[in-house]
Structure 1
Amino acid sequence: MGFEPPQRLVRALGEVHGDPAAADWLARLPALTTEALSANGPELTVERVAAPGGRSSLVLLVRRSDGTPAALKIAPSGAAPELESAALAHWNGWGAVQLMGSDGGALLLERLHPEVSLRSLPEAKALLEAAGTVRRLWVEPPAGHSFETVEERTGRRTEPMRAAAKADPMLEPLVSAALAAREELVAHSPEVLLLHGNFRQSKVLAGERAPWLTVGPEPLVGERAYDLARLVRDRVEDLIASPGGAATARRRVNKLADSLDVDRERLHGWTLFRAVESGTRALAVGRRQEGELTLEFAGWL
């Protein structure tokens, strides 16, 4: 199959600082796509590549032999497609895209409308729909699961944050506050539920079976406040541009916490940690504007 991978995916993989595995996967992507299509036999017809697509996988819009539309997602091993498959299978379509089949790094998924996410709605309506969607995902994890915990995932990200603060002393107060918040939060987790891991408005797409369904989980287990924290800073560019952005951000923490019965202080702490971690990571890979906006948001908290 001849195609050009979306530039968003190419740029994102290029940020992995010369990682030979990422470069090798991108070079082998045409062959991997052919293999994934062959694994499904003659039943799949490719319509087009979904663009701009994601930052860690290729999505092909396909059609099965009976005419059913579907999406074929091909991801590198670093994106842990087997864990995404396990989470989607456990949710079984409840609040999330339906898994139709999987083979190695390829997932065959229910076709949604990739061009229509919650970001197409006014902000207040988008947050309301997002809250209603994410609450469906918070279920008991499957027995014998292989998902990492919130403590494990965030623990792997602390050293890069310290390195960022060391390289730029101006970041030290924010990084120290974020790390201190994490230490306090992981000392006691009030619950252990299956989480999406990267939930935000752009990860909720319009569907036929249900109005809105979640895609692209990076599943892990832990407390709801961690999962909700990324949603708090959605549309951060609009918040930064608003004269009342700081007050709006703090109100959003309280509103989302109250609407989903999540502790306000725990949501505040995880929002701070995740914003500082994301901001320092964006700066490290050269996404300066994104990093600066995210860290300015973190400073408001």
Structure 2
Amino acid sequence: MANAKDRLEPPERLVRALGREGRGAREDEGGAADLRWLADLPGIAQEHLERWELTPDRVQTPGGRSSMVVLVRQSDGTPAALKLGLPDGAIAREHAALTHWNGRGAVRPLRADQDAGVLLLERLHGDVSLRSLADAKALLEAAATLQRLWVPPAEGHPFTGVADHTAALADVLRERRAEPWAADVRTLIDEALELREGLVADAGDPSPFLLHGDYHQGNVLAGDRSPWLAIGPRPLVGERAYDLAWLVRDRLDTLLAAPGAPAAARRRVAKLAESLDVDRDRLRGWTVFRAVDAGVRELSTGARPAGELLLEFAGLL
């Protein structure tokens, strides 16, 4: 393991994501802390390899935008995945959700160092997500897996509610609305904010569910003990329609490039709502709000093509 640290450099996608935020949207102490963490990441990984007696295979690429995953083997040769995330509390919440699910529909946690933002997870097939399937089949499998995750949260859980989470997003969205670069999308921003106000005025579901929070086809991987398992939750508690929004948005490039894109987007909303017994209008509303929020955030960091694609999609709905 003497040369393991040489193989623990962060993947380029993570470097670009944190570098862009540090220079653009987050030119503050938070952004600077992210960049310091990025520089320290090989050392943090090496420390946990030694502490937990792990042998690294390779860093998973292209990886995510807020964490690094190292494919490893435990002391008995069992494969696993070492996930290192920003020490901002997100990994602790992820661990709480994964522990509550206990492998039902989601990757199983093996060990955790919550203060350092490090998890040891069972190894899935990281190169095989639901996006490897035809879209219709992928949506069916995604819906079936998501149903297994929708359970009541544990008493005393640490998760934020959808209303509070989206209130913070809405505050930032209002601030960005005033920027000169947002002039062309202010009408769409206003509609998204109005939709959110109506949605949070009524809870939707009679009782809150534990939600994945970032559920899309790319976050569902092939497994050995189960065909498909979810990874990377950003858990919240609230109504199920919020959790479905990113499934509506999946494969956005293909959806928008096809003839009849508006009708296809509305059909996807209707199909997912019906298959999971979710109100269609609420699903549409949350999809619009989340797409506008994500699109405006992309514009704010200079990622105009990605932002415009999301806003075009929101406009279709």
- Aligning the two structures, in what range does the TM-score lie when normalised by the shorter sequence? over 0.9
Alignment of 1:61-72 (within 5 A): 61-72=71-82
Asked if structure 2 preserves the Cα contact closer than 8 Å seen for 1:164 and 1:171, the reply is no
Alignment of 1:234-273 (within 5 A): 234-273=250-289
Q: Deviations over 1:108-161 (max 9, x none)?
A: 101001100001111111111100111110001011111001011111111222
Give the aligned partner of residue 100 of structure 1. Answer: 110
Q: Which runs of 5+ in 1 are unaligned?
A: none
How many percent of aligned residue pairs carry the same amino acid?
A: 57
Give the aligned partner of residue 2 of structure 1. Answer: 6
Q: Take 2:302 and 2:127, find their aligned partners in 1: how far apart are those partners?
A: 27
Does residue 27 (structure 1) correspond to residue 42 (structure 2)? The answer is no
Asked if structure 2 preserves the Cα contact closer than 8 Å seen for 1:276 and 1:294, the reply is yes
Does residue 117 (structure 1) correspond to residue 129 (structure 2)? The answer is yes
Secondary structure at 2:6 match in 1: coil
Q: Take 1:182 and 1:37, find their aligned partners in 2: how far apart are those partners?
A: 44
Asked if structure 2 preserves the Cα contact closer than 8 Å seen for 1:56 and 1:79, the reply is no
Give the aligned partner of residue 176 of structure 1. Answer: 190
Shift of 1:35: 1.9
Q: Deviations over 1:191-225 (max 9, x none)?
A: 30100000000000001010100000000100000
Q: Deviations over 1:150-204 (max 9, x none)?
A: 0111111112222332222221111111101111111121230100000000000
Q: Take 1:15 and 1:231, find their aligned partners in 2: how far apart are those partners?
A: 26
Q: Match of 1:270, as an amino acid?
A: W
Q: Deviations over 1:2-38 (max 9, x none)?
A: 2321000001111323311101100111111122223
Asked if structure 2 preserves the Cα contact closer than 8 Å seen for 1:89 and 1:99, the reply is yes
Shift of 1:294: 0.5
Please tell me the root mean square deviation across aligned C-alpha atoms, in Å.
1.0
**More displaced, 229-238 or 159-168?**
159-168
Give the aligned partner of residue 12 of structure 1. Answer: 17
Shift of 1:258: 0.3
Q: Take 1:46 and 1:244, find their aligned partners in 2: how far apart are those partners?
A: 48
Give the aligned partner of residue 291 of structure 2. Answer: 275
Q: Which runs of 5+ in 2 are unaligned?
A: none
Q: After the TM superposition, which parts of structure 1 deviate over 6 Å for at least 4 consecutive aligned residues? A: none
Equivalent residue pairs, number: 299
State the TM-score, normalized to the length of structure 2.
0.92
Q: Take 1:164 and 1:231, find their aligned partners in 2: how far apart are those partners?
A: 26
Secondary structure at 2:178 match in 1: helix
Asked if structure 2 preserves the Cα contact closer than 8 Å seen for 1:178 and 1:276, the reply is yes
Q: Take 2:276 and 2:20, find their aligned partners in 1: how far apart are those partners?
A: 35
Secondary structure at 1:2 match in 2: helix
Give the aligned partner of residue 49 of structure 2. Answer: 37
Shift of 1:39: 2.7
Q: Take 1:117 and 1:234, find their aligned partners in 2: how far apart are those partners?
A: 13
Does residue 131 (structure 1) correspond to residue 143 (structure 2)? The answer is yes
Q: Match of 1:243, as an amino acid?
A: P
